[in-house]
Amino acid sequence: MLQPILFALLLLAAFGLFAWQIQKIRANILVGRTRDMSGHLGERLNKTLLVAFGQQKMFKRITPALLHLVVYVGFLVINIEVVEIIIDGLFGTHRFLSFLGPVYDALMAVNEVLAALVIIAVAAFWWRRNRNPPVRRFTGPELRMWPKLDANIILYIEVALMIALFFMNSADIQLHQLEGKDLPGVFPVSYFLADLLPASNVGTLHMLERTGWWIHITGILLFLNYLPSSKHFHIIMAFPNVWYSRLVPQGQFSNVESITHEVKAMMDPSYEVPVPAVAADGSALAPTPFGAKDVEDLPWTALMNSYSCTECGRCTSVCPANLTGKLLSPRKIIMDTRDRVEEKYNSPLIFHPNVYGEEAKHQPITDLANATLLRGKVTPEELWACTTCNACVESCPVNINPLESIIEMRRFLVLEESAAPNSLNVMFSNIENNGAPWAFSPSDRLNWADDLYVAERATV
Ligand code: SF4
Ligand code: SF4
């Protein structure tokens, strides 16, 4: 009786803590600008099935795609066993789902094979991350400190969970053999491992089986509460993030609404500019800034992007600016956004950017209240290195759009601070004065035709 009560309390604490962390992250995402993402249900469902469930974009690189597929399918199938563990823990049953007969046999067999493959895949991931020289996309200043540690912690936890699973099954097999009973299920890996267990009496084996059981489920619940502090949170956020993907063509930029109204009014004097919204008490709302200086100026989808990033570096590895040695890394822009929103609003249970973040170690933030995403974390030099090629957007396996945040911050620099690079300022004045980006008067625009005419006459 004591075990179900203890287990129920553990479950309650773990899911309660997880819900509390999720609520904080939801609040962080909602500090972003509102954006209507309703409609297009069919298209969104299609994208979610292909990109999130089907891992479509992962298969552009076959080796990591196959390794990731093993871990992903393992995660899905092993979760079925977790359901059984929870039922057993709450109601004091043992292997509750065994009534499924042959289905249970198949389920347990697949489960064990996948668990073994997960250990192999995780070992390969660890080697790819930590080998010398490292894979290029796992390097970069943004991957020092916590992100590097986090990537390895996740791998260690995954291996520990699989070992606990084998330990539990092996002890159960030997226990049943000793008692002369049949253990429901087929366990292709644990049958071999059972012989390695040193114990040979029922009491010890029972204790070993329970130890494996408790380590496995407690580890899963700890892992659940570690997720919000980790890049591994993408296993949850990838699905809503892909659902709310941008559906317009990639090269299409959004317009600034207020400027659109102004231009329309200039072109058509009868155009009625919408009356600005007022606050509930009737007072005028503060004008929305042009572009983004801090996280509240970005749309909420951009903040959700930052919680969905796997820190895989596919975006940075195809970014022409990064490849040619510029400071820009689209992965860093996304990671900076998440760090900034957690620094300013709610941070999850374990990770806090001010304690573990890059700045905390190298460049402590002294003025938190006045720090902003732009300049506080992302420099204009990074932003102006972007060629707006969309390669990062195209390559992201979970449909994150780093370019949108880059454009928004550039807009702020240009429209609020007039802080564009000199070459752009020259172009802006040319457009204003000459109606074209070049430094020639509109009256000279057809000179080339005269020159051509003269040249042709000369050759006749
Ligand atoms: S859009 Fe900008 S950040 Fe993205 S890959 Fe191209 S240059 Fe790099
Ligand atoms: S933005 Fe996408 S491609 Fe870039 S690191 Fe994050 S998940 Fe990977």
* Structure-block tokens of residue 403: 């370019």
Question: CA dist 213 to 172, 173, 201, 412, Å?
Answer: 10, 13, 18, 55
412 or 195: which leads in pLDDT: 412
319 lines ligand 1 (CB under 6 A): yes
* Closest atom, ligand 2, to C-alpha of 395: 3
Global confidence as pTM: 0.85
* CA-closest residue to ligand 2 atom 2: 396
In the reported structure, the alpha carbon of residue 311 is separated from the centroid of ligand 1 by a whole-number distance in angstroms of 16
312 lines ligand 1 (CB under 6 A): no
In the reported structure, the alpha carbon of residue 140 is separated from the centroid of ligand 1 by a whole-number distance in angstroms of 16
Per-residue pLDDT tens over the stretch 184-242: 889 999 988 888 877 678 888 888 889 989 999 999 999 999 999 999 999 999 999 99
Q: Which ligand is nearest to the CA of 234?
A: 2
Quote the percentage of the chain above a pLDDT of 70: 94
- The whole-angstrom separation of Cα 156 and Cα 145 is 17
Q: Which of 92-96, 143-147, 221-225 has the highest mean pLDDT?
A: 221-225
Q: Which ligand is nearest to the CA of 51?
A: 2
In the reported structure, the alpha carbon of residue 49 is separated from the centroid of ligand 1 by a whole-number distance in angstroms of 26
- The whole-angstrom separation of Cα 89 and Cα 83 is 10
Per-residue pLDDT tens over the stretch 272-310: 888 777 766 777 666 677 899 999 999 999 999 999 999
* Closest atom, ligand 2, to C-alpha of 234: 7
In the reported structure, the alpha carbon of residue 221 is separated from the centroid of ligand 1 by a whole-number distance in angstroms of 38
Of 84, 272, 255, 264, the residue nearest 165 (C-alpha): 84
To test the pocket of ligand 1, the residue of 314, 387, 407 to mutate (highest count of ligand atoms within 8 Å of its CB) is 387
* CA-closest residue to ligand 2 atom 6: 309
* CA-closest residue to ligand 1 atom 8: 319
The rounded mean pLDDT for the chain is: 87
383 lines ligand 1 (CB under 6 A): no
**Residue 5 burial (CB count, 10 A):** 10
- Please state the rounded mean pLDDT for residues 339-346: 90
Q: Which ligand is nearest to the CA of 143?
A: 2
How sure is the predictor about 370, in pLDDT bands with cuts at 50, 70 and 90? low
**Residue 362 pLDDT greater than 50, yes or no:** no
How sure is the predictor about 353, in pLDDT bands with cuts at 50, 70 and 90? low
Q: Which ligand is nearest to the CA of 396?
A: 2
Per-residue pLDDT tens over the stretch 104-122: 999 999 999 999 999 999 9
CB contact at 8 A, 127 and 208: no
394 lines ligand 1 (CB under 6 A): no
In the reported structure, the alpha carbon of residue 384 is separated from the centroid of ligand 1 by a whole-number distance in angstroms of 10
- The whole-angstrom separation of Cα 447 and Cα 452 is 9
330 lines ligand 1 (CB under 6 A): yes
